[in-house]
Structure 1
Amino acid sequence: MTRIIADISVSLDGFVTGPGPGPDNGLGTGGEALHTWAFSDDPDDRGILREGTTRSGAVVLGRRLFDLVDGPGGWDDETGYGAGEVGKPAFVVVTSAPPESVRLGGLDWTFVTTGLPAAVSAARERAEAASTRGGKDLDVVLMGGGALIRSALDAGLVDTLSLHLAPVVLGGGTPLFTGAVPRTLVQRNVIVTSTATHLTYDVL
């Protein structure tokens, strides 16, 4: 069965970027510390990254995040989604207007202009098709940014919430849960590594 998984790194004080994020400073001041775990040599961190990306049949992201990863300083063969761990899933971008061109033309991009629920539905179709081709269940991963994941949670679109809690206090930036609709979570897994605490919840 295809699940909708919201997956994001967050600071101890609840931010998914540091202060002052922008086109030339995508994660804000100090925000790189949020993703130390993803580049770690810790075998548990590597296993979590491998498991998550291997099960990704499609990935949903917002336009701001797309502009960062497709920009000049964005993804490459070493820093792309699950780089070195998995093949390339389909990517679905929620946007008011598709870009005129895409730098990362080797990836499968779909741009949805009719809102987040439509984007999640399109991603589910892509993931289910990939599941059929591969003979195993694949999921839809909502990778962010923070506003997209908060909106998806508020709209009841998320089955599983995966948080990578980084041992850093950023003091400001983009909050994950401010103003969020209350949701009941059921804790399913906790893995503590040298760089993060990885938390998995079912969303009721």
Structure 2
Amino acid sequence: MHPIIYDVAVSADGFIAGPDADVSAFPPSGPIVDDYTDRLSGYAVALMGRATYEFGYRYGLPTGANPYPHMRAIVVSGAIQLPSDAQVEVWRDLSGLEALRESGPGPIYLCGGGQLAGAIASAGHLSQLRLKRAPVILGGGTPLFSGLTTPPALTATGQVDYGDNLLFQTFRIT
């Protein structure tokens, strides 16, 4: 069974983006970002919610394009409308998640957002949490998990200190 790994930057107060989806408080470059970029090559599928996918539009992602061309990309949304020739799949719900874990091409990168992470964790499908912790307080925005009905139990499996109070922490979901 392929793991679902939530690999995301997070503030000290638990937000993956500030108000208006602002991510400017997170480092845009440096060793912690380089290591994240290297980890992306180990994922076979990118799974994201609508807001996470549409966030790419701010940076020039064309509608329907795959933000992770080396991966199969799936947007989970009941409302998004993409062109018929879109390079991403649209799932209206999570009913295909078990089959994806069983017969998909490999590890699944949950890249956001908080609502989707909450739904996947609540359903017991989240395998691992990889947090790029920034020493900032955002005070609001998109939480790491939203709508979490059953909080998962975590076991810390590693931590790397990148200096400047930047930490990379890994947790196994138990």
TM-score range, shorter chain: 0.7 to 0.9
Correspondence 1:142-157 to 2 at 5 A: 142-157=110-125
Following superposition, which runs of at least 4 residues in structure 1 exceed 4 angstroms of deviation?
none
Correspondence 1:38-187 to 2 at 5 A: 39-42=28-31, 45-50=33-38, 52-69=39-56, 71=57, 73-75=59-61, 88-101=70-83, 108-113=87-92, 115-119=93-97, 121-122=99-100, 125-126=103-104, 128=105, 138-177=106-145, 180=148, 181-187=150-156
CA contact (8 A) 2:10 2:133 kept: yes
Number of residue equivalences: 169
For 1:165, give the aligned amino acid: R
Normalised by the length of structure 2, the TM-score is 0.82
CA contact (8 A) 1:12 1:169 kept: yes
Normalised by the length of structure 1, the TM-score is 0.71
Unmatched segments (≥5 aa) in structure 1: 22-26, 129-137
1:55 is paired with a residue of what secondary structure? coil
* Distance in 2 of aligned mates of 1:58 and 1:6: 12
1:202 partnered with 2:160: no
For 1:118, give the aligned amino acid: G
In angstroms, what is the RMSD of aligned CA positions?
Answer: 2.7
* Distance in 1 of aligned mates of 2:107 and 2:138: 31
* Distance in 1 of aligned mates of 2:77 and 2:95: 12
CA contact (8 A) 2:2 2:101 kept: no
* Distance in 1 of aligned mates of 2:44 and 2:80: 22
Unmatched segments (≥5 aa) in structure 2: none
**Cα pair distance change 1:97/1:162, threshold 3 Å:** same
How high is the sequence identity, in percent, across the aligned residues? Answer: 26
* Distance in 2 of aligned mates of 1:171 and 1:122: 35
* Distance in 1 of aligned mates of 2:146 and 2:81: 30
* Distance in 2 of aligned mates of 1:41 and 1:102: 38
2:37 is paired with a residue of what secondary structure? helix
CA drift of 1:179 comes to 5.5
* Distance in 1 of aligned mates of 2:58 and 2:139: 28
**Cα pair distance change 1:117/1:72, threshold 3 Å:** same
